[in-house]
Structures are given as C-alpha cells and as structure tokens.
A and B are shown apart, each in its own frame.
Chain A
Amino acid sequence: MKLVVAAIKPFKLEDVKENLEGLGIQGMTISDARGYGRQKGHTEVYRGAEYQVDFIPKLRLEVVVEDDQVDEVVKAITDGAGTGTIGDGKIWVVPVEQIVRIRTGEKGSDAL
C-alpha cells in the first residue's frame, strides 16, 4: 500500500475529489495547509505598508491506495488539480507499513 499526498490549490478540490471517486477511491483526508514552492507568495498592504506573504493557502490531501492503483490515482489528482499555471502543487508517494480499520480491526487491503 502507498500513501499518496498532494498539496493542491484549494479551489481544485472538487475536481480532484470527483476524479478519485471515479476510480472507486473510498475516502480521503484533507487539511488546510500553507506553503510555497516555485510560486512565491503574494503581497499584502496594511495602511500603506507592504508585506510579502510567503506561505499561501493550500489543501493537503491524503489517500491510501493499493500499489497497483498509484499511477491512476496520481493521474487523477494531476488532471483534477492542474491549471497549467505556476503554483498547482505537488504529489508525493510514500510506502505504508500497515493500515487498520478502527471499528472492525480489519488490516491491510481489507481496511482500505
């Protein structure tokens, strides 16, 4: 199993979610995040004083999938979150040692 993590533009969440549901992915976790990559932040102005805000709002999306689903899941997120402009975000994939469904105690693929 793999954990697919993506930092995406907040307004693209619906598109990503639809694409993942289309693959039969059941459930995901999202959280508010702030960050920057090549896309630097933005400028804010308070009483004439300008401030560079480096960290800008993103959504962090996490989904655990079977190994053979990774490629299509990554593609689904890429298609859903992409706008073709700087700041679309990143996806990274990490191995998962174990997964347990708390209600039933099921483990591994059964818990997905």
Chain B
Amino acid sequence: MILGVPAIEGDEGPDRKDVLVDTGDTAFILVCAALVMFMTPGLALFYGGMVRAKNVLGTIMQSFFALGIVSVLWVLVGYTLSFGPDKGGLIGSLEWLGFGGVGQEPNADLAGTIPHVLFATFQMMFAVITPALITGAFAERMKFSGYCAFMAGWLLFVYAPIAHWVWAPGGWIRELGALDFAGGTVVHINAGVAALAVILVIGKRRGFGKDAIIPHNLTMTILGAGVLWFGWFGFNAGSALGAGGLAASAFLATNLGAAAGALGWAIVDSVKEKKSTSLGIASGAVAGLVAITPAAGFVGPTAAIAIGLAGGIVCAWAVGLKFSLGYDDSLDVVGVHMVGGIVGALLTGVFADIAINEAGADGLLTGGGAALLGKQFIAVGVTLLYSFVVTFGLAKAIDAVIGLRVTEEEEITGLDLTQHSEAGYVFGEGGGGLTQTAPATAGAPVVAPHGAAITEGGTLR
C-alpha cells in the first residue's frame, strides 16, 4: 500500500515536519479507517451465520473481540514492530512504543499528506481484521482463553514481521519489488495459511465429515458478506492513502473483483450442483474481494474482472479439498483466504500495469515479462512458510500452557453457554424458563437452565 502513495514526492529532507496535511486526503482516510473497522463486525455476521446456533455468540465474539484485543496491543507495541524505523529489513524498532512520536504531522516515508496518527490508526483496522479472519477455521471448538492468547501472540509474532517486510520502508520484500496494494500477502495469505496451521494443532470438530454440520442462519451470512464488500472499499481504495484518481481506480477494481467472484462461484455451483446457492454467491464475492486486494491499485477494470472471476472459480473448487485432505477448516478460511490470496498475488504479477499506477510495475501480460511474477512468487512463498511455521509453534505453545480446545462436553453443549454463559437465541415468555439467581452486581454468573433447550439434530442435549 505504501507504493500507492500518490503524495508529494521529494518532500523528504530537512522540512519534512512542515509538509502540509492535505485535508481532502485526511477526510478520506478517516472515513476509510471507519469502513475497515466495520469489516470486522461484518465478518462476525458472515461467520456467525455459518456455524450452528449453539455457537453463534462464541463465533461472533471471536471476530468482534479482536477489535478489543488488537486495538490496544497495536498502540502499545504492534504498530512500532510493524512500521517503526527499520531494523535490518526484518522488523520495526521500538521507537514508537505506545504511539510515542506518532503525531498529527505527516510522516513522509509512510504517508506524506495525512497525519501520522491517522496512518497508524488506519493500519490498526487491518491488524484487527487479519487475525479475526483466522477464527473461522477453528470455529466451534476453541476455548475463549486460548483464543485471546492466540490473537495477541499472532499479532506480535506473525502479523507484525510480515507487515514490516511487505509494507514498511526498508522491509525486505518491499525492497525486492513485490507488489501488494492492500494486503493480499500480509492479510489474506498470512491469515489463510495460519488458519491451516492452527487447525492441524487443534484438530477436527466432533462429527466432522459425518454429521451434518450446517449453517444455522445464512441470511446473517449474506448480510455479513455485504458489510464486508462495503467495508472493502475503505480497505482497498483507502490503501491509495489519498483521495485521488488511484483511489477511484482501486474502488472500481474492488467492486468488479467482488462482482466477478460472485459470478465465478455461481458458475461452478450451477455446473456442479445444477443450482446456484446463496452461500456460494456470498462466498464468491468474498473470494473475489480477497483476490483483487493485492492488485486493486495496479490493474484496470477488465483485469479486475479476470482476477475476481479466477478467485471465485478457484476458491469454489478449493473449499472441497478439506474433505479429501481430512482437515477441518470450519468456515473455509484456507480455501478462500489462502487460496484466493495466492490467486490474487500471482495474477498481480500477470496484470499489473504502470499506466494505472506508476509506482507499480508491468506484469506478464502488460509488457513487463516474468520479473514481477517471480517476485510475487517469492513474496507468496515466504509468507506461506513463515506464517505456517511460526503459527504452528504458537498454537502448540498455547495448547501446552493454556489449552486451545474446549472439552468434549463443552463442544457438544456449545460455546455460547460454556464459554460465555449466554445464549444467542432465547425464545418464549420468561426467557424460556430462566430464573435470576444473582443480582448483576453480585458477580456470580446466572446459569441458564434453558441451555437444555438448545437442540442438536432434534435431540435434547
């Protein structure tokens, strides 16, 4: 995204602090930061609808609470590790701990026309949604305490270094010349392969591949996909870091990526199943958005359609692999984010066009030869390898110390009651047989006897 800076070039130097804040750019990025923030509750709906009713709150919490954990950690230490002054191309220094030195004046190395604190806050929203994406893979079986530890550890040990390599001035992948406009590698491939690592540690859900573990509320899921699509305009167009032509171009590419992705998945569905499914179209839109993310600011509209279509088609095929390979990626984070991210990153090397963004490069079909594609391969490979290995180790460590997985009884009862002492849906008068056993101030949990009314397969549990 740094490469997308349309800003005032050549403003580095003794007068850097006097670079003026551009009010138009600032207003735009403020709104974009809010749009990207809104993607996380959108993701909560998207995921929440796809799980069984007994896990709806537990699943929503795993997305939503990322806003709590990551926002705080980002200010304290995450940002400076990611974007702080470079240390050997590998990590940021600790100079900006607690946002110290992250002020209202622009930092020309990062974004020359908006307040530094705005750039850092915009980046915060990316850091929030990325680990939240992973949670879809281990949905319906992780302990809340294990989840909290995982989010914190993953932000610092996996997200921060990769964000630094790809986006920060001096980061070695950025210096290599690989392109990632809005986070194909840092966000999607990173989260997708991390998802694979965690589910290999935590194991399959009880009944996976045997019982019908099916979505409980697809209306919620489709609305969530719509919220994601909406927020993605902030994610991609905002990654231009200014309110100009490049942002407009990325905005259009984003919409086309989503549209073509929905189309692609619908085509696969109707060929394979003779029917188009609503979950398929929602998933296809998200897959198209994932695929267009690295390319959004480097390609024109027809290339955006091609990339979105490829994302939708390839991901529709990839989500079936978990059954033959035997890993339980509950909500297809690997199949959509890792696979869609790889499709997008590589196709960026095919379709990128300097005519769209002079800070970019020409790709395979635009006269640049295979050089860019080669760099894209390196960026993808390194991200896959680093994220998988470190995430696997992190998950193993948390499993040993705190424990990642709920007990079998808790898994059958559901996360809502066992992890949060709440129910997502309470029907009937009087709260379905609920009696208050302690006032809110007493601190004792009100244990809901109606938990028994949550059914699985028509049997009272």
Interface residue ranges, A against B (CB under 8 Å)? 34, 44-49, 51-53, 55
Query: Shortest Cβ distance from A67 into chain B, in angstroms?
Result: 33
Query: Shortest Cβ distance from B336 into chain A, in angstroms?
Result: 9
User: Does A52 lie within 8 Å of B212, measured CB to CB?
Assistant: yes
Query: Shortest Cβ distance from B387 into chain A, in angstroms?
Result: 24
From A46, A48, A52, contact of B272 by CB (8 A)? A48
User: Does B215 lie within 8 Å of A46, measured CB to CB?
Assistant: yes
User: Does A47 lie within 8 Å of B214, measured CB to CB?
Assistant: no
Q: Which residue of A has the minimal Cβ distance to B331?
A: A47
User: Does B316 lie within 8 Å of A45, measured CB to CB?
Assistant: no
Residues of chain B within 8 A of A53, CB atoms compared = 212
Residues of chain A within 8 A of B272, CB atoms compared = 48
Query: Shortest Cβ distance from A98 into chain B, in angstroms?
Result: 27
Summed over the interface, the residue pairs from A and B with CB atoms below 8 Å come to a total of 34
From A47, A51, A52, A55, contact of B279 by CB (8 A)? A47
Residues of chain A within 8 A of B323, CB atoms compared = 49
What are 26 A-to-B residue pairs whose CB atoms are below 8 Å?
A34-B458, A44-B212, A44-B214, A45-B269, A45-B273, A45-B275, A46-B214, A46-B215, A46-B277, A47-B280, A47-B283, A47-B316, A47-B319, A47-B320, A47-B332, A48-B268, A48-B272, A48-B273, A48-B280, A48-B319, A48-B320, A49-B320, A51-B212, A51-B214, A53-B212, A55-B458
Q: Which of B15-34 contact A (CB under 8 A)?
A: none
Interface residue ranges, B against A (CB under 8 Å)? 212, 214-215, 268-269, 272-273, 275, 277, 279-280, 283, 316, 319-320, 323, 332, 458
Most chain A beta-carbon neighbours within 10 Å: one of B212, B268, B275: B212
Residues of chain A within 8 A of B275, CB atoms compared = 45
Further contacts, 13 of them, CB under 8 A, given A47-B279, A48-B272, A53-B212: A34-B458, A45-B269, A45-B275, A46-B279, A47-B277, A47-B283, A47-B320, A47-B332, A48-B319, A49-B320, A49-B323, A51-B212, A55-B458
Query: Shortest Cβ distance from B61 into chain A, in angstroms?
Result: 23
Q: Which residue of B has the minimal Cβ distance to A47?
A: B319
A48–B212 Cα distance when bound, in Å, is: 13
Q: Which residue of A has the minimal Cβ distance to B213?
A: A51
Query: Shortest Cβ distance from B280 into chain A, in angstroms?
Result: 7
User: Does B458 lie within 8 Å of A48, measured CB to CB?
Assistant: no
Q: Which residue of B has the minimal Cβ distance to A45?
A: B273
Q: Which residue of A has the minimal Cβ distance to B315?
A: A47
Most chain B beta-carbon neighbours within 10 Å: one of A34, A45, A47: A47
Query: Shortest Cβ distance from B3 into chain A, in angstroms?
Result: 34
Q: Which residue of A has the minimal Cβ distance to B320?
A: A48
A51–B214 Cα distance when bound, in Å, is: 8
Query: Shortest Cβ distance from B327 into chain A, in angstroms?
Result: 14
User: Does A48 lie within 8 Å of B215, measured CB to CB?
Assistant: no
Q: Which residue of B has the minimal Cβ distance to A35?
A: B458
